[in-house]
A and B are shown apart, each in its own frame.
Chain A
Amino acid sequence: MNGRGDDTMTLLRGNAHLVDFFTSFDWWRTQPRNDLVQAPAMCLAETGEVYAVYLPQPRRVKVTLDGPLSYRARWFNPRTGQWTRLADAAGPVWESPEPPGEGDWALLLTTYDWTTREWKSYFNHDGLQYNNNQWAGEKGSLRVRFGPPTASWWTTHNGNRPDFPVSAPWVGVGSDWGNLSSNSPLPIKLSELEVLKASLSATVPRGKPNQMFKVYWQLYFSDKPDGKFNRGEFAPTVYGVNIPSNHWGTVLGSTVVDGRQWRFADQGFSSGMGRFIIPMLEPQLAPDANGVVEIRDVDIKALIDWCIAEGFYRAEDYCMVILAGWEVWVQDDNLRMNDMAFTIKQKGKPAVTIPAWTTLMTKQP
């Protein structure tokens, strides 16, 4: 293309390394966070997930990391494209060693090694619940993602809380919570909600003693479209094993929706989060021969309406988040979310289904 047009032109070779670096993590989910490093270093981060640091000069850099988590750390040579593994990095402030040579350098700190497609050592499970750094799918401007694991999951796997081995990952859509889908149709005022249906398919563990787990949807309500989730949590639950009887709370009543019976339990008010109500499917789903539980087009709106009629929630409250989640109280066990979908329609607007059914399975690494 250039007047020279020969192999002495090397810019594209250099830019190919740039592409390799950026495609080794979900660059589109990061934001410039130069406040986490010292100039002239530059940082892109999705805090708690990935930190990409560029050093125009070969100097050590301190990176402020999120929480007590550990990250896989690697040098990247922008001039050659070579990766060099470092010892794992840990917060709250991690200082890099001296760069391996002259020139500019990059660092990548991740919770997951996208180059080798391997989980770190504490990801000793398979199943989608641990793919917490991926998009589950996209449709239009709506985004659905696997959410980050809860703090309890991390503390468990960091060995700090062996007495409380809970993992509670989830997938969901919603307003701005946990970096969920900021362009989703949520929040929607409950009185404006015309359709809210949910489907899920999960493969559940079986056969071990002391297993405890549940599969559910969870919705969070607020009194303002931009407020905190102070008006309640709502968790229609379709499957559970060995859940203690006091887990569900006080029985409020029951209703039948589309031929399915739901019993409502009240866990009361949690601090700052409003009333926590759990509609339980009765009977709960039965796993098939492959351990799969599946249910489609559950009319979540009808369940919400029952609660509004009973005075537990208000029509003027807003639904901020809806997610499909599961909790497993036993380590070294797998519960896979095979698929999920929500159909959401606000009055006067077209219905949206997110994601398309089967999206999750096709997005596995």
Chain B
Amino acid sequence: MKDPGFDLRRFNVAYWQRFERMLAYARQKGMVVSVIPFIAAQVLVTPYAAYSEEEKLYYRYMVARLAPYSNVTWDLGNEHDLHWKAPDWADYMGPLVKQWDPYDHLTSVHNRIYRSPGNPWNDMQLIQRWDPGAQKDFFLEQRKQQAASGRIIPLINEEYGYEDLWEKKPGDRNADSRRRCAWEICMAGAYQTTGETANRGTGFPLTPAAAG
């Protein structure tokens, strides 16, 4: 949907308040939340254009509102480069967010490798890589490449699959297999975040059954 009829100059305060309650609860539980203001690859509603004033207003408001929470990191745009024909967008938005955020939360963008000294806004490397056995060698190699580049930042597998989602055979992506993934990632000197899919509510249909 290109134009859902949103008023892009008025924020839905109740929504942000709910988001803040979630952050406060996560903080109580010792959890850090990767805040993703925009997802390109899933063709969710994106009623503003890249580089537009409305986009800037949205990000500026998000940072001002959520930065006081100690348990946030910024993922500027999930798969931002897949469906958005704005290849340099992250290098535009990253410095702005760093400039706006008085608390200097870790900032990055999913899922392109930014590690050159020319991307100083990128505090960590967000990566998507699924399934056990695929983690160790990959992350050890990433560490080598970082060392060679002279810019060493945390490596984070932000998506290593979701519990029971899209299994090729029953159980191959169950909780136990995801847990083993997480161990493999950490033992390779990287970090992981854990997420779950949203099959209802504001989510998008993930499976034909869910879509039906």
Contacts and interface: CB of A to CB of B under 8 A. Distances in A.
B196 A10 contact: no
Given A1-B196, A3-B210, A10-B175, A15 B187 contact: no
B168 interface: no
A184 B195 CA distance: 36
B198 A1 contact: yes
A11 B199 contact: no
B101 interface: no
A56 B186 CA distance: 13
5 contacts: A10-B163, A18-B182, A19-B30, A42-B187, A42-B188
B155 to A, nearest CB: 11
Interface in B143-164: 143, 162-164
Contacts of A3: 197-200, 203, 206, 210
A109 interface: no
A9 interface: yes
B186 A32 contact: no
A32 B196 contact: no
B26 to A, nearest CB: 12
A104 B194 contact: no
Contact of A12 (B143, B176, B194, B200): B194
A104 B210 contact: no
B140 A32 contact: yes
Given A32-B187, A32-B188, A9 B179 contact: no
B176 A14 contact: yes
Contacts of A19: 30
A61 interface: no
What 10 pairs across the A-B complex have the smallest Cβ distances? A3-B199, A14-B179, A1-B196, A42-B187, A11-B175, A10-B175, A2-B196, A11-B163, A32-B189, A54-B187
Contacts of A106: 183
A15 B196 contact: no
Interface of A: 1-4, 9-15, 18-19, 22, 27, 30-32, 34, 42-44, 52, 54, 56, 78-79, 104, 106
A27 B194 CA distance: 19
A22 B192 CA distance: 13
The dominant DSSP class at the A interface is mixed
A1 B162 CA distance: 11
Contacts of B143: 32
A42 B184 contact: yes
Contacts of A31: 189
A15 B179 contact: yes
Given A9-B196, A12-B194, A78 B179 contact: yes
Contacts of B132: 56
Contacts of A11: 163, 175, 178-179, 194, 196
A1 B194 contact: no
A12 B182 CA distance: 11
B183 A54 contact: yes
A11 B195 CA distance: 10
Given A4-B164, A56-B183, 11 more contacts: A2-B163, A3-B197, A12-B194, A14-B176, A15-B179, A19-B30, A31-B189, A32-B143, A32-B189, A34-B140, A79-B179
Contacts of B194: 11-12, 15
Contact of B136 (A1, A42, A78): A42
A181 B44 CA distance: 45
B180 interface: yes
Nearest to B161: A11
Nearest to A1: B196
A162 B184 CA distance: 44
A146 B163 CA distance: 42
A18 B210 contact: no
Contacts of B186: 18, 22, 27
Identify which of B136, B140, B183 gathers the most chain A CB atoms within 10 Å of its CB: B183
Nearest to A18: B182
A12 B180 CA distance: 12
B175 A14 contact: yes
Contacts of A56: 132, 180, 183-184
Contacts of B187: 32, 42-44, 52, 54
Nearest to A42: B187
Nearest to A53: B187
A22 B206 CA distance: 33
